[in-house]
Amino acid sequence: MTGDDRFGCNRHVTLPGPLRLDGGVLLSPVEIAYETYGSLAADGGNAILVCHALTGDQHVASTHPRTGKPGWWTRMIGPGKPIDPARDFVICANVLGSCMGSSGPASVNPATGRPWGMAFPVITIRDMVRAQAMLLDHLGVGRLKAIVGGSMGGMQALSWTATFPERIDAAVIIASTARHTAQNIAFHEVGRQAIMADPNWQSGDYYGGEPPAAGLAVARMAAHITYLSEAGLTEKFGRRLQAREAKSFGFDADFQVESYLRHQGLSFVDRFDANSYLYITRAMDYFDLAEEHGGLLANAFRASRARFCLVSFDTDWLYPTSESRSIVQALNAAGAPVSFVELSSPYGHDAFLLDAPEMNRVVDGFLRGGR
């Protein structure tokens, strides 16, 4: 699938700034890279915003220009899929702070003419959402038939319903949470420390030189473990050795799981900016939707008119089912209509990105239910 001809692909806009951030800073300019699929209906009633996860991007259903890989959620979005560009106008934007065309630490700071680096302001999930709202204004999209996201995409979807309740008719939140736990923060902090410990990081001022690839690879390796289940790792790798017949009694990657992790780390540094990793993990750690609403999560949803659909996976230990259940309880307390299902999968947190026919059936049924 390619981007719709009317809108083209690899789209990019400089929003009429500035954007006032939660940290108090006015950010300008605000550039947002995005993709669209399908056409906006005359009544504007078919727009769906898809929000991506930590290291995701706007290429949700079309080939990634840098890696040449298919879009990251072609299982969910495409002809005959729950979200179908033949019917829906699908929008996906690279989040603020990222490195795929939207403003982030690798963007040029107009005050200096050089990349922002660590002078880029710290952002929040709500800041990402505000930038997306400006993009929708630019596209002439008033309200959303649905907002859909997994993992950090789910955080954005939750924040959308709280920040712009009048614009959201339905929200699908998959494998997500309303706040980062101490353990979530701890894993991210390990990743950040790994990046900052890399001498190439140079306090974030590495653009034009060697990036902190080794540190970023370690950060990715640590995070990647949290995306998989213990059972899934055992099933996929167990204690199986690499091509060798026996242990090497050395420090090469003897076990398949070691080789796999090293590959995950190395391939990641080719497509992601280390400073963006710092900023986006920080935004996730700061996220606590209840805290933004007087400490009571239900308060976040009192103005919402949306229907909600929550999906969790039983082997997800990053954002376990108990987190989704807390959100459901808050939605119930706020009187919001919500359907919730915990699906069974061996794949842990990553399940939402993989083949999950049940997830598709749930999302399809939910989106059709509103028509």
Q: Stretches 8-16, 35-43, 98-106, 282-290: which one binds a copy of itself (CB under 8 A)?
A: 282-290
Give the one residue of 1, 122, 333, 341 binding a copy of itself; rule: CB under 8 A: 122
Closest residue by Cα to residue 257 from 285, 275, 232, 286? 232
**Alpha-carbon distances of 319 from 1, 143, 264, 363, rounded to whole Å:** 31, 29, 21, 19
Helix (H) or strand (E) holding 159: helix 152-163
CA 172, CA 366: separation in Å to the nearest integer?
9
> Which CB sits closer to a copy of itself, 57 or 127?
127
Q: Does 104 bind a copy of itself (CB under 8 A)?
A: no
Q: Stretches 33-41, 170-178, 261-269, 292-300: which one binds a copy of itself (CB under 8 A)?
A: 261-269
Active site residues: 151, 316, 349
Q: Check the annotation: does 220 bind a ligand.
A: yes
Q: Does 278 bind a copy of itself (CB under 8 A)?
A: yes
Q: Within a 10 A sphere around the Cβ of 59, how many other Cβ atoms?
A: 26
> Which CB sits closer to a copy of itself, 137 or 189?
189
Q: Whole-number minimum distance, CB 314 to a copy of itself, in Å?
A: 16
Q: Whole-number minimum distance, CB 156 to a copy of itself, in Å?
A: 19
Site string for a copy of itself, 292-331 (x = CB under 8 A): -------------------------x--------------
Q: Does 258 bind a copy of itself (CB under 8 A)?
A: yes
DSSP state, residue 274 = H
Cβ atoms 284, 315 nearer than 8 A:
no
Q: Check the annotation: does 66 bind a ligand.
A: no
Cβ atoms 348, 313 nearer than 8 A:
yes
Q: Does 182 bind a copy of itself (CB under 8 A)?
A: yes
Give the one residue of 79, 208, 239, 368 binding a copy of itself; rule: CB under 8 A: 239
Helix (H) or strand (E) holding 224: helix 213-227
Q: Whole-number minimum distance, CB 183 to a copy of itself, in Å?
A: 5
The residue with tokens 């990222």 is 98
Q: Stretches 39-47, 58-66, 218-226, 327-335: which one binds a copy of itself (CB under 8 A)?
A: 218-226
Q: Stretches 51-59, 137-145, 190-198, 335-343: which one binds a copy of itself (CB under 8 A)?
A: 190-198
Sign, CA dihedral 334-338-343-348, equals negative
**Alpha-carbon distances of 108 from 29, 30, 96, 233, 274, rounded to whole Å:** 10, 11, 14, 41, 16
CA 218, CA 201: separation in Å to the nearest integer?
13
> Which CB sits closer to a copy of itself, 5 or 245?
245
Q: Does 82 bind a copy of itself (CB under 8 A)?
A: no
- Cα 133–12–68 angle (5° rounding)? 115
Q: Does 118 bind a copy of itself (CB under 8 A)?
A: yes
Long-range CB contacts for residues 253-260, cutoff 8 Å, separation at least 24: 257/233, 260/236
Residue 182 CB partners (closer than 8 Å, separation 6+): none
Give the one residue of 96, 131, 147, 217 binding a copy of itself; rule: CB under 8 A: 217
Give the one residue of 5, 24, 111, 371 binding a copy of itself; rule: CB under 8 A: 24
> Which CB sits closer to a copy of itself, 254 or 273?
254
**Reduced 3-state DSSP string for 63-76:** CCCCCCCCCCCCCC
CA 263, CA 33: separation in Å to the nearest integer?
28
Q: Does 12 bind a copy of itself (CB under 8 A)?
A: no
Q: Within a 10 A sphere around the Cβ of 247, how many other Cβ atoms?
A: 11
Kindly list the residues in this chain that would bind a copy of itself in the complex (CB under 8 A). Answer: 22-24, 118, 121-122, 179-183, 185-187, 189-190, 192-194, 196-199, 214-215, 217-218, 221-222, 225, 228, 230, 233-234, 236-239, 247, 249-251, 253-255, 257-258, 261-262, 265, 278, 282, 285-286, 288, 291, 317
